[in-house]
A and B are shown apart, each in its own frame.
Chain A
């Protein structure tokens, strides 16, 4: 019964929307400013905005209207205001250029801020030099799609996050391009949401910052050249599929930093040229299948506080160190991966190596314990030690090994 009522309601909404007026804003039109048009509009109206530069101060949209820009009209915040505040359900904001929001240490000014709403859609906008780009708080079922966000601040304090979601649910963040912000995409207390096909690059801190957000999926995103890579912390049931983590290079930069994560999947991702591909701490029940680790400093840094992590069918190629760890306790499973440093043989030709592979080298263990030992990086003595340790393991964790290493790369 409820479902029927709901669909009828939606049908009525659609009908109303179709019957709404179309209003024009522009220098040659009836309305000279967007705020005047919004003031005159009723819920369900469509407002078409011609190209021009609009100084609206703080534009508040408190009716369920569709705002559509024609030829990318500019809404300028003059470095003082929050450009657009959305305070009604079902608002559509499409095709605007929003620039120069205020910057403040007290108020979180944003290019577009959505306050406690449902079904808001923000798409095809260009957001430039705003403090926060698109900010959603207490929102449900909103879509943020195909926006370009760019900021050019030099300091973390003067820059907010690109797409910032706080206490929201069922958000769809799709196809956005974010650069130059503090964090590209920021999720805190956001549940059941999807982050799909975004490009987050050259942000000052994290490409994606993810805290206390359960049951979310992020797939097919590119995180490249961010100050500290991607951080996913204190969450469970997170799914990370087919993302690219590239060029997060620098001291303290990680492809992904996982902290206190449980019941999650990391499948089909590519980690390329990161200082550490994945850093895992305090995580449990994570399945990592079919990822590719290429040319990283450390492919995987897995702390002894992790348990029940399963790695299978991953490719490790050209990494300086395959796995680093800090203790001797190993409660994880490393079987059935391809390691390019594996020197074993396969007598029975079943494409699985006959002797186990130990991905933790002695030198990486020493460096973990005595960081200044990095001075001996690539010296003769360390390679000799690694070789002898491989024959008779003494310092490296006894159980950290791949019992069935693959002889050939997993085709991905």
Chain B
């Protein structure tokens, strides 16, 4: 298994797109910190990067990569190897390489410019988001044999997590405006890793006071050690569940 993992990891790291992604992140991070007069503002601009670009790149790249290595996977399956190990090393390779690219491209500059709890939280969330979207991509890729369909599904999932989910939340808010929804919102935010990451970073950024009563409730929950622990746990669950489901599908799949 280690051999496959090593092979996949090196293969992805040599990939030109991953290199371009790393350089792109590097360029954006340095411009953002160079242009904004305060690092706090730079972090806010980077927030958008982490919440939209990182998931998009991760999910699309991972999906395409899996489709492109269909023959390689078939070859591996014909060997005396467990399917679980193959799938796990594929996941490990993708997640490891993309997290590595994120850490080099955005993580190190952030920690260089803003060595605070906020910066650290941002890097942690970026890595978690990368891994989560690789797991979701694997689920998308294993669901259908057709490459175009699979990539379409991946884009749709990205759109859902970064836009449509929030639209739904807004819809619920408008429909049930007469009810106290603040506590429910804490629960609902757990249903979308992007929202969860955004709230965790914003709360670290001292803008919670802006968020009024809702912010106070969020802070009561997410601001405590227990809350942060639970939310990181939920994010780990967001890695674990899609991956396990895709593994189950992969195991039963007729290749």
Contacts and interface: CB of A to CB of B under 8 A. Distances in A.
Interface in A355-390: 366-367, 369-382, 384
Interface stretch (A91-99, A144-152, A213-221, A248-256): A248-256
Contacts of A380: 48, 51-52, 162-163, 166
Nearest to A250: B209
Interface string B19-56: 00000000000000000000001001001100110000
A379 B166 contact: yes
A320 interface: yes
B155 interface: no
B12 to A, nearest CB: 28
A297 B211 CA distance: 9
A64 interface: no
A225 interface: no
Given A372-B181, A372-B182, A372-B185, A377 B210 contact: yes
Nearest to A253: B209
A298 B177 CA distance: 23
B173 A373 contact: yes
B112 interface: no
Nearest to B208: A251
A390 B29 CA distance: 29
Interface string B209-236: 1111111101000000000000000000
Contacts of B170: 366, 373, 376, 381
Contacts of A275: 209-210
A381 B173 CA distance: 14
Contacts of A369: 177
Chain B: number of interface residues, binned into ranges: 35 or more
Interface string B144-177: 0000000000000000001100110110011001
B143 to A, nearest CB: 25
B198 interface: yes
Given A374-B215, A375-B199, A380-B163, A320 B169 contact: no
A199 B48 CA distance: 39
B166 A377 contact: no
A251 B213 contact: yes
Contacts of B210: 275, 297-298, 320, 374, 377
Contact of B211 (A253, A377, A381): A377
Nearest to B172: A372
B209 A297 contact: yes
B195 interface: yes
Contacts of A382: 166
A298 B170 CA distance: 21
B209 A370 contact: no
Contacts of B216: 251
A259 to B, nearest CB: 19
Interface string A203-243: 00000000000000000000000000000000000000000
B202 interface: yes
A254 to B, nearest CB: 11
B237 interface: no
Contacts of A372: 173, 181-182, 185, 214
A382 B173 CA distance: 14
B177 A370 contact: yes
A381 B207 contact: no
Contacts of B163: 380-381, 384
Interface in A149-163: none
Contacts of B199: 375
Q: Which of A251, A372, A377 has the most CB of B within 10 A?
A: A372
A370 B174 contact: yes
Contacts of B182: 371-372
Interface string A312-353: 000000101000000000000000000000000000000000
A363 to B, nearest CB: 10
A251 B212 contact: yes
B61 to A, nearest CB: 20
Nearest to A369: B177
A373 B198 CA distance: 14
Contacts of B167: 381
A377 B169 CA distance: 12
A249 B209 contact: yes
Interface string A240-269: 000000000111010000000000000000
Contacts of A298: 210
Given A372-B182, A372-B185, A375-B185, A381 B209 contact: no
Contacts of A376: 166, 169-170
A314 B210 CA distance: 22
Contacts of B206: 249
B128 to A, nearest CB: 18
B200 to A, nearest CB: 12
Interface string B184-195: 010011000001
Given A250-B209, A374-B211, A377-B202, 5 more contacts: A371-B214, A372-B173, A372-B182, A376-B169, A379-B162
Closest 3 A-B residue pairs measured CB to CB? A297-B210, A381-B166, A374-B211
